[in-house]
Amino acid sequence: MIRRIASPAIVLAAFAISFLFSPYQLTLANFIGLASIVVLGLVLLTGIGGLTSFGQAAFVGMGAYTTAWLTTRFGLSPWLTIFAAMAVTALGAWLIGMLTLGLSGHYLPLSTMAWGLSLFFLVGNITALGGHDGMSGLPHISVFGAPLEGRSFTWLIWVFVGIAFISVKNLLDSRNGRAIRSLRGKTVMLEAFGVDTARLKTLIFVHAAVLAAISGWLYAHLLQFVNPTPFGLGAGIEYLFMAVIGGAASLWGAILGASILILIRDTVQDVIPGLLGSAGAAENIVFGVMMILILQFASGGISPFIARFLPRAAPRAVPDDALALDVREKPEPGRPVMVADGLTKRFGGLTAVNAMTFELDAGQILGVIGPNGAGKSTLFNLLTGVLKPNEGTLTVCGKRVENAPQSAFCELGVVRTFQHVQLRNDMSVLESVAVGAHRRGRDGALKALFRLDRREEAALLANAKRQIERVGLAGHLHVPAGNLALGQQRIVEIARALAADPAILLLDEPAAGLRYKEKQQLHGLLSNLRDEGMTILIVEHDMDFVMNLVDRLVVVNFGEKIAEGLPAEIQQNEKVQQAYLGVEE
């Protein structure tokens, strides 16, 4: 309740207080607002999406220059040029994104510096854009013929802060938003559930750039003048500072970080030159020291400390009567759903999987066991489309898929869990499981921005809740996944896979690292799923775990199938005992 009225109350209070502001304080509020809009984009891009950009100032510049050029040369109204500024910047960001977003590690941040610098020098050398002297004489922004000046321009800026805030919040609170929140380090998992991660990265990159462009549009008409200086690399670094100081994963942190940095700069510029006797960019020394301290002692920024004193939001109830999601037509029991024929995978001279042949029928549980290094994980990757075989064929539900992209596997209902659990610790069980149903939703980011995706959202969440109840974790719906024990996390992964409406459920060493009790629970769950008619393939090292669970066993060693049959037969098989049990212990 307190949370619900908090935001409108803050907005009203800020509006009332703004009447008391001196012109000087209004100027500070303007610059805080302008920066907040950019930093909100950075929170989405860097803090949540994990893509570090030093180049946001260049997008601010694109927005500012677009409107400067169109309003002064062609006399267009700023209310038209805002759309041009957004479109030009979106296109620019899309092109830059195509070239750079595939870069990994430190190369992406480095490339953002490169284009941050090059756009700066480019604009400085184009005479049509005024070169280093810039362009002046931009018109006022008017509403019903009245130019916005002073206090009313501050309001305009903060209306856009609000729009930026809501746009990012709505995007994050959606089907794509859940995937965006998992982008950092979880792309293999996302791809396995049919998420196009390259597209998502482009989406948040363009969104952040468009917000920057809006800030640039406002800035240009506030000053009625543009030149390249405020859009250089230095400004880009400062925006990133603001995001980190405020708390790079928090939307309120964006406004907090912008406020802190701008207020400190303002103070320092007044005070330090008096102390040092020189007027150099003293604030940069202070920012540098602050940055080091924050990274050292509070890498989450300042907002988590403040959040501790605020009431926690109550989890939203999950609606039950939601619209139904598409359900896959299940293969008839007994029909082959996955057929591997001669699958071979070589790593250089090493043949990790050699001429693997087996058949999995609908409604069966097939176990693939073997000692460490036998080639189980490699086989698993071949069966899920992560690796492509050198030879052999793989058929799923009658379709040849050995060379198909990973998304095709998800489309056909080949759904997996991970040996090393792939959950985001800070995401609730409910949302983690809902990621599994990504492919079953249709509504895109644009619908999400205007919250037109609510019906489908309700359906996705209701489905996730059903799967969580199905695996027996109903009591943990809103608990962060990271708070659960490993055994429960594995079960959450199974629920996430079930949320995708699988034709085949593939489990990669589900019992690895579990305690005895946890193994029993997992065993019980898998038996139940088999009784429901689920088709399952388990790759497992632990022989006891699979013995009275699976219908059939395939034993591999050194990449080759050395035995196949009923569990009881395998237990008696001498070759298996030698190869497998001999290696173990």
| 3-class secondary-structure state, position 353 | strand
Choosing among ligand ADP, Mg ion, none, which partner's interface includes residue 510 (Cβ < 5 to 8 Å by kind)? none
Closest among 463, 453, 480, 479 to 170, alpha carbons compared: 453
Total residues in contact with Mg ion, by rule CB under 5 A: 2
> Smallest Cα–Cα separation from 414: which of 503, 482, 331, 500?
503
Least Å distance, CB 519 to ligand ADP, is 19
Among 111-119, 274-282, 369-377, 546-554, which window interacts with Mg ion (CB under 5 A)?
Answer: 369-377
Backbone dihedral angles phi then psi of residue 336, each to the nearest 5 degrees: -65, 130
The minimum distance between CB 267 and ligand ADP, in angstroms, equals: 55
Polymer length of the chain: 585
- Binding range to Mg ion, per CB under 5 A, among 101-109, 110-118, 376-384, 487-495: 376-384
- CB 228 → Mg ion: shortest distance, Å? 54
Closer by beta carbon to ligand ADP, 21 or else 558 = 558
Whole-number minimum distance, CB 565 to ligand ADP, in Å? 20
CB 484 to ligand ADP: min, Å: 25
Q: Among ligand ADP, Mg ion, none, what binds residue 292 when CB lies within 5 to 8 Å by partner kind?
A: none
CA dist 114 and 54 (Å) reads: 9
Residue 351 Cβ, how far from Mg ion at the closest point, in Å?
16
Beta-carbon-side half-sphere exposure of residue 276 (alpha carbons within 13 Å): 13
**Residue 374 binding target from Mg ion, ligand ADP, none, CB below 5 to 8 Å by type:** ligand ADP
Contacted entry of Mg ion, ligand ADP, none for residue 373, CB cut-off 5 to 8 Å set by kind: ligand ADP
- Identified binder of ligand ADP from the candidate list 15, 107, 305, 347, rule CB under 6 A: 347
Largest CA distance in the chain: 92
| Cβ proximity of 378 and 388 under 8 Å | no
352 binds, among ligand ADP, Mg ion, none (CB under 5 to 8 A by kind): ligand ADP
**Dist. CA 381–CA 396, nearest whole Å:** 15
To ligand ADP, the closest distance from the beta carbon of 336 in angstroms equals 24
Q: Which residue is nearest to Mg ion (CB)?
A: 377
> Which residue number, 347 or 450, has a Cβ lying nearer to ligand ADP?
347
Under rule CB under 5 A, residue 89 binds Mg ion: no
Least spacing, CB of residue 186 vs ligand ADP, in Å: 20
Candidates 289, 350, 446, 486: give the one binding ligand ADP (CB under 6 A): 350
Stretch that binds Mg ion, among 256-264, 370-378, 443-451, 456-464 (CB under 5 A): 370-378
Report d(CA 185, CA 226) in Å as an integer. Answer: 39
Partner whose footprint covers residue 322, from Mg ion, ligand ADP, none (CB < 5 to 8 Å by kind):
none
Rg (CA), the chain: 28
Stretch in the footprint of Mg ion (CB under 5 A) among 253-261, 317-325, 359-367, 368-376: 368-376
Q: How far is the CB of 539 from Mg ion (least distance, A)?
A: 7
Do strands 536-540 and 504-508 pair parallel, antiparallel, or not at all (unpaired)?
parallel
The amino acid sitting at 308 is R
| Residue number, 156 or 562, with CB nearest to ligand ADP | 562
If one asks whether residue 377 binds Mg ion (CB under 5 A), the answer comes out as yes
Residue located via tokens 């924050």: 294
Give the Cα separation of 43 and 45 in Å (integer): 6
Return the number of other C-beta atoms located less than 10 Å from residue 469's C-beta.
13
Instruction: Pick the closest to residue 212 from 95, 85, 81 (CA basis).
Output: 85
Q: Which of 45, 208, 256, 352 binds ligand ADP (CB under 6 A)?
A: 352
Tell me how far apart the alpha carbons of residues 137 and 2 are, in angstroms, rounded to a whole number: 47
Among Mg ion, ligand ADP, none, the one that 372 touches (CB under a kind-dependent 5 to 8 A) is ligand ADP
Question: Closest Cα partner for 245 from 287, 308, 307?
Answer: 287
Cβ–Cβ < 8 Å for 553, 546: yes
The 3-state secondary structure of 35-66, one letter per residue: HHHHHHHHHHHHHHCCCCCCCHHHHHHHHHHH
CB 207 within 8 A of CB 171: yes
The CA-based angle 544-545-546, given to 5 degrees, is 95
| Part of the chain binding ligand ADP (CB under 6 A), chosen from 48-56, 161-169, 286-294, 344-352 | 344-352
* Cβ atoms of residues 472 and 433 within 8 Å: no
Q: Which stretch binds Mg ion (CB under 5 A): 5-13, 36-44, 126-134, 375-383?
A: 375-383
- 310 CA to centre of own chain: 26
Give the shortest CB-377-to-Mg ion separation in angstroms. 3
Q: Which two tokens stand for residue 48?
A: 């949540």
CA dihedral 569, 573, 576, 581 (to 10 degrees): 90
Tokens, residue 164: 């930026």
Q: How far is the CB of 418 from ligand ADP (least distance, A)?
A: 13
In the complex with Mg ion, which residue's Cβ is closer, 368 or 503?
368
Binding mask 361-380 for ligand ADP (x = CB under 6 A): ---------x-xxxxxxx--
Collapse the DSSP code of 354 into the 3-class scheme (helix H, G, I; strand E, B; otherwise coil) and give the result: strand
The distance of closest approach from Cβ of residue 493 to Mg ion in the complex, given in angstroms and rounded to an integer, is: 16
In this complex, which beta carbon is closest to ligand ADP, that of residue 45 or of residue 554? Answer: 554
Residues forming contacts to Mg ion in the complex (CB under 5 A) are 376-377
Q: Which residues bind ligand ADP (CB under 6 A)?
A: 347, 350, 352, 370, 372-378
